[in-house]
Chain A
Amino acid sequence: MNTTLSAILLLSVPGYPLLLAFPALRSRSPWPCHIALLPAVILLAVPAAFSVDLPWLLFGSGLAVGERSRWLLAMAVVLWGAAATLLRAPANQPESNHLTTFFLLTLAGSLGAILATDLVGFFTFSTLMGYGFYGLLVNGGEMAAQRAGRIYLALLILADLALFEALLIVAAVTDDLSFGAVHQAVAPSASLNLYLSMVLVGFALKAGIWPLHFWLLPAFRSARPAAALLLGGVPIATGLLGAVHWLPLGEISSPGLGLALQWLGVGAMLHAIVAGRIQGQLKMLPAYAAIFATGLFITALGAGLADSAAGSRYGDLAHLFIVSLGFGLAVLTVGIGWLAARSPDAVAPAKRAGDPAPWFERWPGAVVRWGAQMGSDTLPRLRASWLATAGRLWQTRAWQSALDGGERSLQRWAFAITLLLLLGVAVAFIGALS
């Protein structure tokens, strides 16, 4: 296939959904969410590795599809297709119209992240995916969904910040930001540890890995079917994929970090089992499954980081793992959804009353209140009082009377002429002295 055609095809995988995200551009097409997947399907159907360089995009970017990403793409297409089918609702309402927009935005981000060949591209698409997914979560949902969305959004911002820092660290080291180049450049860098921790924290937040899984539970609890179906295959999978892409696996051997990660992973799995058991809510099962699975993933990642030889083999495995995780979680969600439809009681037992705001929501609130007092009260009030004082000073009778009285006495004939005299005498005197 010639390069132009392949470039167009690659670009249209995320580009076409993006275009369709504009309501005006899809108003005529009957099945926009499905049609948006068309380029990806075509791409999957053509069994060859494509790549396109886009030097004018951002800092020079590119898209490619290879053996590994083909699997991921396939998983994404299947999941998105299913979700699109679930989503099909009354089309004329503005709410669903919005939902479609968010759906397509998220879709574009998700597919783009899979095809991205460099850090910035991946970052861009995953951010797009993140904000879009927020819209999917929140749009038209009730309070719980909104809260879930809020938490997801806050963590998303934090994650993006961490990743941005990581990006800056990389950019200080190398100009070429494609994955391979970054791995090689960052491995010997002095700020490697900072980079690794930023990347890990960032993607852990994005993928909801224990203990940074704050958003995961509320999201699973409140998400509507289409969103719930995608939770595993889109945010979590993208997060994990990011970790694989960004970490210089195979270039470094860091036993300490590896061991720590492995312990964390084990902890996550234990947490999932114990907490899932205590919770006992069937609808939450996919959430705990996700925690468990990501724990497993982290354990493996730890192993990969600990040893460069293991790390280089780890890549293929990770892709497969992500694919199966996506499918698995989706199947689980759908299954439970089906179950819930049959017997609601089993899925959602008595809902606990008064869900208190967790600590990570309360603290920022306190900070914000404190900031409000600091920022909007104290300083302006200080300045206002200062200005008022200055104004009073100007208005003070003492000043006024000094000015007016001085001028009045200056205007007195006798006074003035005497001054004149004095001046003349002074001039003569000064002159005579010198």
Chain B
Amino acid sequence: MIPAVLYALVGMGLFALGLFALIVHTHLLRKILAINVMASGVFLVLVALAARTRGAVPDPVPHAMVITGIVVAVSATALALALMLRVSAETGRAELPEEPLE
């Protein structure tokens, strides 16, 4: 097994781990972090698999995609954090109510 595939497997593991955290944790910050972990997993899969070309230059296209993805993730995280702050300011808890508020 070439290392690239190993990285990709790790990426998949991160994805599943992030998903686990996303489900289990109720605090919004943890959820946001979990999403970021998942995103990292996906990015890892993308770039790692690009390096399967033995010896030759890795495929640059996934790299570009990852850069795009990272920026998107950063933007989304920023928005999520700001939103989280507003939610906790408004409701007093940085959690999502399990039922719709009344």
Contacts and interface: CB of A to CB of B under 8 A. Distances in A.
A414 B24 contact: yes
Interface residues of A, number: 8
Contacts of B24: 414
6 contacts: A411-B98, A411-B100, A412-B98, A413-B26, A413-B98, A417-B23
B22 A417 contact: yes
Contacts of A408: 98-99
A413 B25 CA distance: 10
Contacts of A417: 19, 22-23
Contacts of A413: 23, 26, 96, 98
Contacts of A414: 23-24
A59 to B, nearest CB: 73
A411 B99 CA distance: 7
A413 B26 CA distance: 9
Interface string A404-434: 0000100111100110010000000000000
Interface in B43-102: 96, 98-100
A60 to B, nearest CB: 77
A189 B98 CA distance: 86
B99 A421 contact: no
Contacts of B22: 417
Contacts, number: 17
Contacts of A411: 98-100
Interface string A188-230: 0000000000000000000000000000000000000000000
A344 to B, nearest CB: 91
Interface string A395-409: 000000000000010
A417 B23 CA distance: 7
Given A411-B100, A413-B98, A414-B23, 14 more contacts: A408-B98, A408-B99, A411-B98, A411-B99, A412-B98, A413-B23, A413-B26, A413-B96, A414-B24, A417-B19, A417-B22, A417-B23, A418-B23, A421-B19
Nearest to A404: B99
B25 to A, nearest CB: 10
Interface string B3-31: 00000000000000001001110100000
Contacts of A412: 98
B83 to A, nearest CB: 16
Nearest to B98: A412
A355 B23 CA distance: 93
Contacts of B100: 411
A418 to B, nearest CB: 7
B100 to A, nearest CB: 7
A421 B19 CA distance: 9
A22 to B, nearest CB: 72
Give the residue among A411, A413, A421 with the most B Cβ atoms within 10 A.
A413
Nearest to B100: A411
B55 to A, nearest CB: 33
Give the residue among B19, B23, B99 with the most A Cβ atoms within 10 A.
B23
A408 B99 CA distance: 6
B33 to A, nearest CB: 15
B96 to A, nearest CB: 6
Nearest to B22: A417
Q: Which 7 A-B pairs have the closest CB atoms?
A: A414-B23, A417-B23, A412-B98, A408-B99, A411-B99, A413-B96, A411-B98
Nearest to B16: A421
B5 to A, nearest CB: 20
Nearest to A413: B96
Nearest to A418: B23
